[in-house]
Structure 1
Amino acid sequence: MQNKPFLPPLETFYQWESKNPDKVWLTQPLGNDQWVDFTWADVGQQARRLANALQQLGLKRGDRVGLYGANSAYWIMADMAIMMAGGCSVPIYASMPEEKIRYVVDHSEMSFLFADNSSEMKLDALMEAFGNSLQIVSLAEQGGHHQFSGLVEQYEALAGSPVRERDELWSISYTSGTTGQPKGVMHTFETMPYSAERISELAETNEDSVFFSYLPLAHIAERCVVELNSIYSGGHVYFNESKETFVRDLQKSRPTFFFAVPRIWHNLKNGIVAQMGEEKWKALMQDKDAARAAGELILGAMGLERVSYAFSGSAPIAPADLEAWMALGMPVYEGFGQSETMSGLGNRPDAIKLGSIGKPMSEDAEMKVSEEGELLLRAQGNMVGYYKDPEKTAETIVDGWIRTGDKVRVDEDGFVFITGRVKEIFKTAKGKYVAPAPIEQRFGTLHCLEQLCLVGRGMPQTILLIVLNEQARAQDKTEVEAELLAKLDSVNGELEAHERISHIIVCRDVWSIENDLLTHTLKIKRDEVEAKMRAQIDLCEAGTESAIVWE
């Protein structure tokens, strides 16, 4: 892959604005299956007007500006305006509760906040909570101190095409805060954007590429592989209106590049299996030609038939899910990145190995494995540190290397496999260490599962906590138990004695962001799940006879 000279995002945007002023960049749903298009010239004009408004309202160079709302063309136009005006963007997850929003607002010393009514806190509540300490700009037609549309109408466009120094802060991305308060990951105009440009080269996105934006733009992955990728490729972005319109919007956009986290890939596959029936699906997976023929129809019905590069990241994905999508004719390429660095690793068409996170995505991204087996990464795309936290920064960045927190192994071909999180590996009562991720992945062929979490710290044996999917919850319990027991026996036969699972606990409720059992990026909060199921775990440890325990 030939690396070209890097340009920061503003300069790249201006190139597309000059080259393709009338080409549509962003397509926004308005409701009732109505859409509005914004060309590169439209975005340039609105962003400059908004940038001038921010400066006239008091924004100073380097001031932090929050972005709190649903994915939309307005979110991205506000982001472009913040860059043009000299600010530093601070995305906030739409699902963050008030106490964590307050922490981010106070910790970042935010002066402006763009928001809409789609998030956990509505505009009225935001005004009441933060209206005296910062200026709130509504991305909707009402609410806040100012409205996006009103500012665009009121102010003239900022003159020229302002650029930023490459080492200026571009954004502070706060982590979801699974352990304590969120950490503010600092990126400049030449760190995370540099990674995005390399990802665009890896995925071979271009002016004809189409993106579908539905995962939170507050998450660095969506921002990198969709927003910034579209800037570097010159492609077209469609936005998802809501969960209810996901299928309709996906069919409308028919993307050529599609990014999803493992849980979404798994659930989409399970939806296909549910419609087709378990036996028919199993037979299909045994017939390569039939699977590819069926895949054309299935992918076409979903709106995924044009995808040339499908990507999975944020957490490990079950190899069985990758095999299924490959059989249907749409290989899903698993990769690795995190808020601290998206200059990670990835599989690609000419170098893929299922179950691995691939190899370094560009020639100038370095990796090594520490003596403890931890993956270390060094690249231009690495963060510059944690905001106002030099101690944590010094722990994470050592001699320019990011300590990722993931334990890995590297095979003879150079492919990297995650064996677990350093902090997730636990010691049983027998004094033996267990890495949960590889064991959990062995259950990936079970179509009845929606979520799972292996626990065992200080326990005689490990215990698997699971959530059944909607179809399995409607099945007869005896059938589900038989399927679970068969898989349990099969997996235990492949494990060492100290790793073997004594019980499977079937949890009643789905783990979600709302019940504080998932992070904003859909990762499982293991400690919280274990604490919630403590009574059932104690019952298992006391020696209940049944290997399957229902909450």
Structure 2
Amino acid sequence: MKPVTELAPTPLEKFYQWERSAPDTIFLRQSAANQWIEYTWSDVAEMVRRVAGFLRARNLPAGSRIGLLATNCAEWLVVDLAIMLAGHVSVPLYAAQDIRSGRYIFDHAGVSLVFVGHFAHEQNPDTLLVEGIYRVALSDCVVPCDISLPEIFEHAERFEACPLYPREQLFTLIYTSGTTGNPKGVMHSLGACAEVVQRRTQFLPSADPGARERFISYLPLAHVAERVGIAIRAVYGNAELSFSAGPERFAEEMREVRPTGFFAVPRLWEKFRQGLEAAMPGLDPHALSDAQKLAVRQRLGLDQARIITTGAAATAPDIMAWYAALGIRLQNAYGMTENLIDGCIDMSESPADPGCVGKPLPGVQLRFTEDGEVCFRSAGLMQGYYKEPDKTALVLHAGWYHTGDRGYLDAEGRLVLTGRVGDIFKTAKGKFVNPLELEHKLTATGLFEQLCVVGQGLAQPVLIARPFSANCDIRISTVIEQINTELAPHERIGQILLTDSLWSADNGLLTPTLKVRRQAVADRYLPELEPDVPLCWCKN
């Protein structure tokens, strides 16, 4: 493999390229007040250079940690590019970041200045924003700050230079979602980003040759998939990037943008389906004509999308099949913060086992340890976990990243994930159970909106779930009995605990990336389990 430094231009070099060669081309679009505000590359460059000038004028040490706490918007990407241009390190936080992990990130990263937009705790901002950190307000910010972005656009001097920083230079700290503890700060270089995004842009074109790609950004930009796979990808490909105003107008925005490439997590694919079924009672994709299927795709805004991916968690087979019947092929993708999502994607059309995430992307090497752990090697690998060499040493060995996921290759050479190394639990009978395999089967029933299987130290595994319907006890019991006949005795669901409460990042049961915090769910619900009762509802 060639060194990263020989392979691709950095994000800044692509910024300089489009600023120079396509100044009048519309790059960013912001949805606001039922209309679109459009920014050309010249407009974006003007804003980026003024924010970079402001940062340089503050005389911060090179490589200072600059926080970004906001919902998705065009200004988010402007600030991200400006931090890069000024030679500093961005530290994105989720707008829904919980207070404990948010304050941990501010302290651990050593953030000295933060750009603030809308975020979950803005009614009591000081619970999250650490005292002493200089605050810059984005245009939609409602909390007290030291200066605003519009003031910077108006008064700051432009930073006119076009520096070419070393490719090994750190450009961002992306903190993991903290599923099992404190978030870890993943260090990535300019060169790693260059290699990954350039390859993805060339390998996964979402528009016809000669046509511009169109993307819409609505998932958190603090998540590596949205930032690298959508925002920075748009920088590399000179794509048109639109930013959603929020859930209330998202469906309409999708029809207006008609993206050529689109990414969503499994829970959102389920919500899109529920929305369609509510608007079109009795909808059966298999019974529709081709023209009717096209009309449904147009209603979703996906009629021109060539690359439609799903990831961050397992997507239920019935969801995949439902969309496939509409002519919408969801392509499973697999990557992580530690490799800048430089992993796998399933481009094949042949049937696959549950958990199939496809073949490695070009430039990505894949292997397994003796116990089946998935390992990756590519130019996208992190430099390590910030300030945590011991944790880095646990996952990086001789240039290979050990993911903590288990898997195997199917007959076509596609990676199939079977669970997390750390998720496997031992029951009171001394038997080991892989909860992900059970969860795949349970999700495929279509009965549960959210679910989690736990069982460490228990006699049998326990299903904790939020069903789609509140009046389905008998059906659930019947389905679980049938599934149990297909399982080994030690894997069979012993008890079912149902709840009508939604799991979210706000109540600590999901991470900001919507992954289930298994231990938190167990701690919250197991005390309510009634002994020897096969199925019961949570009382609180």
CA distance in 2, matches of 1:70, 1:79: 13
Who is 2:111 aligned against? 110
Who is 1:543 aligned against? 532
CA distance in 1, matches of 2:462, 2:17: 56
Who is 1:41 aligned against? 42
Who is 1:377 aligned against? 376
- What letter is aligned with 1:11? E
Cα gap change, 1:301 to 1:68, in 2 (>3 Å): same
CA distance in 1, matches of 2:343, 2:241: 24
Contact 1:115/1:123, CA 8 A, preserved across alignment: no
CA distance in 2, matches of 1:120, 1:92: 11
Contact 1:84/1:163, CA 8 A, preserved across alignment: no
User: For structure 1, which segment, 252-261 or 343-352, has the greater mean C-alpha deviation from structure 2 after superposition?
Assistant: 343-352
- Measured against aligned partners, the alpha-carbon deviations of 1:517-540 in whole angstroms (never above 9, x if no partner) come to 100000011111111111333x1x
Q: CA deviation at 1:339?
A: 0.8
Contact 1:26/1:39, CA 8 A, preserved across alignment: yes
Is 1:246 the counterpart of 2:250? The answer is yes
Who is 1:305 aligned against? 303
Contact 1:291/1:327, CA 8 A, preserved across alignment: no
User: For structure 1, which segment, 62-71 or 301-310, has the greater mean C-alpha deviation from structure 2 after superposition?
Assistant: 301-310
Who is 1:8 aligned against? 10
What is the DSSP-based 3-state SS (H/G/I as helix, E as strand, rest coil) of the residue aligned with 2:226? helix
Q: CA deviation at 1:129?
A: 4.9
Who is 1:326 aligned against? 324
Q: CA deviation at 1:113?
A: 0.6
What is the DSSP-based 3-state SS (H/G/I as helix, E as strand, rest coil) of the residue aligned with 1:409? strand
Report the RMSD for the aligned CA atoms in angstroms: 2.2
- What letter is aligned with 1:130? V
Q: CA deviation at 1:172?
A: 0.2
Contact 1:17/1:44, CA 8 A, preserved across alignment: yes
Is 1:340 the counterpart of 2:329? The answer is no
CA distance in 2, matches of 1:42, 1:330: 36
Q: What are the within-5 Å matches in structure 2 for residues 216-255 of structure 1? A: 216-255=220-259
Q: CA deviation at 1:409?
A: 1.5
Q: What are the within-5 Å matches in structure 2 for residues 158-237 of structure 1? A: 158-205=159-206, 208-237=212-241
What is the DSSP-based 3-state SS (H/G/I as helix, E as strand, rest coil) of the residue aligned with 2:248? coil
- What letter is aligned with 1:212? I
Q: What are the within-5 Å matches in structure 2 for residues 68-467 of structure 1? A: 68-116=69-117, 118-122=118-122, 125-126=125-126, 129-132=129-132, 134-140=133-139, 143-205=144-206, 208-277=212-281, 281=284, 284-285=285-286, 287=287, 290=288, 292-341=290-339, 342-348=341-347, 353=352, 355=354, 356-362=356-362, 364-467=363-466
CA distance in 1, matches of 2:126, 2:449: 34
Contact 1:406/1:421, CA 8 A, preserved across alignment: yes
CA distance in 2, matches of 1:402, 1:29: 39
TM-score between both structures, scaled by the size of structure 1: 0.91
Q: CA deviation at 1:329?
A: 0.5
- Measured against aligned partners, the alpha-carbon deviations of 1:456-482 in whole angstroms (never above 9, x if no partner) come to 11222212111123xx24xxx2xx123
Cα gap change, 1:429 to 1:291, in 2 (>3 Å): farther
Q: CA deviation at 1:348?
A: 1.6
CA distance in 2, matches of 1:123, 1:21: 39
Contact 2:404/2:421, CA 8 A, preserved across alignment: yes
- What letter is aligned with 1:23? T
Is 1:531 the counterpart of 2:523? The answer is yes
Cα gap change, 1:123 to 1:56, in 2 (>3 Å): farther
Q: CA deviation at 1:161?
A: 2.0
Cα gap change, 1:535 to 1:103, in 2 (>3 Å): closer
Q: CA deviation at 1:122?
A: 2.6
What is the DSSP-based 3-state SS (H/G/I as helix, E as strand, rest coil) of the residue aligned with 1:403? strand
Q: CA deviation at 1:548?
A: 5.4
Cα gap change, 1:448 to 1:165, in 2 (>3 Å): same
User: For structure 1, which segment, 496-505 or 196-205, has the greater mean C-alpha deviation from structure 2 after superposition?
Assistant: 196-205
What is the DSSP-based 3-state SS (H/G/I as helix, E as strand, rest coil) of the residue aligned with 2:165? coil
- Measured against aligned partners, the alpha-carbon deviations of 1:465-506 in whole angstroms (never above 9, x if no partner) come to 11123xx24xxx2xx123313321332222111111123221
TM-score between both structures, scaled by the size of structure 2: 0.93
- Measured against aligned partners, the alpha-carbon deviations of 1:105-146 in whole angstroms (never above 9, x if no partner) come to 221111211111x102339835995352x2211112674111
What is the DSSP-based 3-state SS (H/G/I as helix, E as strand, rest coil) of the residue aligned with 1:451? strand
- Measured against aligned partners, the alpha-carbon deviations of 1:14-45 in whole angstroms (never above 9, x if no partner) come to 22222221111111122x20221111111111
User: For structure 1, which segment, 330-339 or 123-132, has the greater mean C-alpha deviation from structure 2 after superposition?
Assistant: 123-132
- Measured against aligned partners, the alpha-carbon deviations of 1:284-322 in whole angstroms (never above 9, x if no partner) come to 43x5xx364432121211222111111111111112211
CA distance in 1, matches of 2:136, 2:123: 9
CA distance in 2, matches of 1:385, 1:292: 50
User: For structure 1, which segment, 200-209 or 21-30, has the greater mean C-alpha deviation from structure 2 after superposition?
Assistant: 200-209
Contact 2:7/2:195, CA 8 A, preserved across alignment: no
CA distance in 2, matches of 1:486, 1:203: 44
Contact 2:244/2:250, CA 8 A, preserved across alignment: yes
Who is 1:22 aligned against? 24
What is the DSSP-based 3-state SS (H/G/I as helix, E as strand, rest coil) of the residue aligned with 1:340? helix
Contact 2:48/2:82, CA 8 A, preserved across alignment: yes
Q: What are the within-5 Å matches in structure 2 for residues 53-68 of structure 1? A: 53-68=54-69
Cα gap change, 1:128 to 1:459, in 2 (>3 Å): closer
User: For structure 1, which segment, 43-52 or 140-149, has the greater mean C-alpha deviation from structure 2 after superposition?
Assistant: 140-149
Who is 2:489 aligned against? 497
Contact 2:525/2:538, CA 8 A, preserved across alignment: no
Contact 1:25/1:237, CA 8 A, preserved across alignment: yes
Unaligned stretches of 5+ residues in structure 1: none
Cα gap change, 1:352 to 1:60, in 2 (>3 Å): farther
Contact 2:173/2:186, CA 8 A, preserved across alignment: yes
Q: CA deviation at 1:197?
A: 2.4
Q: CA deviation at 1:449?
A: 1.9
- What letter is aligned with 1:401? W
User: For structure 1, which segment, 241-250 or 521-530, has the greater mean C-alpha deviation from structure 2 after superposition?
Assistant: 241-250
- What letter is aligned with 2:376? L
- What letter is aligned with 2:246? S
What is the DSSP-based 3-state SS (H/G/I as helix, E as strand, rest coil) of the residue aligned with 2:191? coil
Is 1:487 the counterpart of 2:479? The answer is yes
What is the DSSP-based 3-state SS (H/G/I as helix, E as strand, rest coil) of the residue aligned with 2:18? helix
- What letter is aligned with 1:410? L
Cα gap change, 1:126 to 1:84, in 2 (>3 Å): farther
Q: CA deviation at 1:224?
A: 1.0
CA distance in 2, matches of 1:124, 1:449: 34
Cα gap change, 1:532 to 1:350, in 2 (>3 Å): closer
Cα gap change, 1:99 to 1:550, in 2 (>3 Å): closer
What is the DSSP-based 3-state SS (H/G/I as helix, E as strand, rest coil) of the residue aligned with 1:484? helix
Q: CA deviation at 1:276?
A: 4.1
Contact 2:99/2:128, CA 8 A, preserved across alignment: no
- What letter is aligned with 1:271? G
- What letter is aligned with 1:543? D
Contact 1:192/1:383, CA 8 A, preserved across alignment: no
Contact 1:326/1:332, CA 8 A, preserved across alignment: yes
What is the DSSP-based 3-state SS (H/G/I as helix, E as strand, rest coil) of the residue aligned with 1:6? coil
- What letter is aligned with 1:431? G
Contact 2:71/2:94, CA 8 A, preserved across alignment: no
